[in-house]
């Protein structure tokens, strides 16, 4: 890009596609088939996710935004942050609430989005440097499970907020969740803070409706992972051969999404020379989305060597934004 305020580093190469191939080879030859949720998000998947965020049943996005709108000024005052690092930034829709608060406090220097979706990071960088004169954008195209080390060092000696919003942390099962939190903690200087969005445990019908909407958008989003595998790895999953399943596992306190084969199904993954057989009714787990309690967030932070310094929820306690210090 020609804009002097924008730098974009790219760290996704064939390694990314190899990542999908490895995940398919590993996940779809197990006794219980599984694909990691990060492969939902090609361009169509990002669009479907944006549509999900507008659904009446899907409360997390608007709830988190409302908390941010109410608390952003306090969070910025409390942290004194001049820089926002956002992991899994997507279209940076909620980011503006934080950037506005930083700009209003006269501190905003730089925004560092890290995301796998290159076109989305590029487009939001171009829009944001227009909207926030004087702010720099240093985008990192990468996967926050692998490229945290590529985040540029702070531009000034001032504090940063490292944000992981939307409840994305819930996609990680407890062990990897704590490892990821520990790795993020290692990025933080003494004055930096992690800002973490977590969906909270609420009643099962509301939770399940959020992941199984009337309009069927989440079902399309779920099947999109098969579309990605078909395209990227020359596979022949029949998209209409799978039902969307979403349920709240009360023991683990997480939502699980699965794809259930409607009929016996034999799939060839051309790029891997791999044949996958599914029995009628057999399921592929495509996502877990953990819901939290205050105690669980506290426990995860503690296990990751972090200290909880702030806790903000909506009035109905459906979602929490917490702050943590190294």
Least Å distance, CB 103 to ligand AVJ, is: 26
3 state SS of 106: coil
Is residue 284 marked as binding? no
| DSSP letter string, 224-278 | HHHHHHHHHHTB---GGGEEEEEEEETTTTEEEEEEEESS-EEEEEGGGTEEEEE
Is residue 236 marked as binding? no
Is residue 314 marked as binding? no
In the complex with ligand AVJ, which residue's Cβ is closer, 166 or 241?
166
| DSSP letter string, 159-190 | -EEEEE-TTGGGGS-HHHHHHHHHHHHHH--T
Burial class (CB within 10 angstroms; exposed 0-12, middle 13-18, buried 19+) of 243: middle
In the complex with ligand AVJ, which residue's Cβ is closer, 60 or 159?
60
- What residue number has its CB nearest to ligand AVJ? 289
In the complex with ligand AVJ, which residue's Cβ is closer, 211 or 301?
211
- Write the CA distances from 223 to 6, 146, 275, 278, integer angstroms: 35, 26, 19, 16
Residues contributing to the site for ligand AVJ (CB under 6 A): 52, 60, 166-168, 170-171, 211, 218, 287, 289
In the complex with ligand AVJ, which residue's Cβ is closer, 160 or 244?
244
Least Å distance, CB 316 to ligand AVJ, is: 17
Least Å distance, CB 71 to ligand AVJ, is: 19
Least Å distance, CB 123 to ligand AVJ, is: 19
Least Å distance, CB 53 to ligand AVJ, is: 8
- 87-107 burial: b if 16+ Cβ within 10 Å, else e: bbbbbbebbbbbbbbbbeeeb
Tell me the C-alpha distance between 95 and 135, whole Å: 14
Q: Are 84 and 161 in contact (CB under 8 A)?
A: yes
In the complex with ligand AVJ, which residue's Cβ is closer, 139 or 170?
170
In the complex with ligand AVJ, which residue's Cβ is closer, 76 or 194?
194
Q: Are 271 and 150 in contact (CB under 8 A)?
A: no
Is residue 41 marked as binding? no
Is residue 289 marked as binding? yes
Q: Cα Rg for the chain, rounded, in angstroms?
A: 20
Least Å distance, CB 14 to ligand AVJ, is: 26
Is residue 58 marked as binding? yes
Q: Known binding site for L-histidine: residues? A: 58, 171, 211, 287-289
Q: Known binding site: residues? A: 58, 88, 94, 115, 143-144, 171, 211, 287-289
């Amino acid at each position: 890009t020609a804009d002097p305020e924008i730098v974009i580093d790219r760290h996704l190469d064939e390694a990314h596609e190899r990542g999908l191939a490895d995940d398919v080879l590993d996940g779809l030859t197990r006794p219980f088939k599984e694909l990691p949720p990060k492969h939902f998000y090609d361009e169509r998947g990002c669009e479907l996710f944006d549509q999900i965020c507008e659904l009446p049943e899907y409360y997390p996005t608007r709830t988190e935004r409302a908390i941010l709108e109410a608390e952003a000024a306090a969070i910025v005052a409390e942290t004194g942050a001049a820089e926002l690092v956002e992991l899994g930034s997507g279209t940076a829709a909620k980011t503006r609430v934080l950037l506005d608060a930083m700009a209003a406090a006269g501190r905003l220097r730089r925004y560092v989005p890290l995301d796998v979706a290159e076109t989305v990071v590029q487009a939001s960088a171009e829009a944001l440097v227009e909207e926030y004169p004087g702010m720099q954008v240093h985008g990192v195209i990468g996967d926050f499970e692998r490229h945290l080390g590529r985040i540029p060092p702070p531009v000034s000696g001032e504090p940063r907020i490292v944000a992981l919003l939307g409840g994305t942390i819930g996609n990680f099962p407890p062990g990897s969740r704590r490892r990821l939190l520990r790795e993020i903690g290692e990025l933080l200087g003494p004055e930096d803070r992690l800002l973490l969005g977590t969906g909270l445990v609420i009643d099962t019908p509301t939770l399940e409706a959020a992941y199984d909407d009337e309009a069927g958008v989440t079902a399309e989003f779920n099947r999109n992972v098969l579309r990605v595998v078909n395209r990227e790895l020359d596979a022949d999953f029949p998209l209409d051969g799978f039902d969307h399943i979403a349920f709240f596992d009360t023991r683990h306190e997480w939502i699980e999404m699965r794809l259930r084969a409607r009929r016996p199904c034999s799939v060839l993954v051309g790029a891997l020379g791999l044949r996958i057989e599914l029995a009628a009714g057999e399921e592929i787990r495509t996502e877990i989305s953990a819901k939290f309690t205050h105690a669980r967030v506290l426990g995860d932070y503690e296990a990751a060597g972090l200290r909880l310094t702030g806790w903000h929820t909506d009035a109905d306690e459906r979602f929490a934004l917490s702050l943590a210090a190294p």
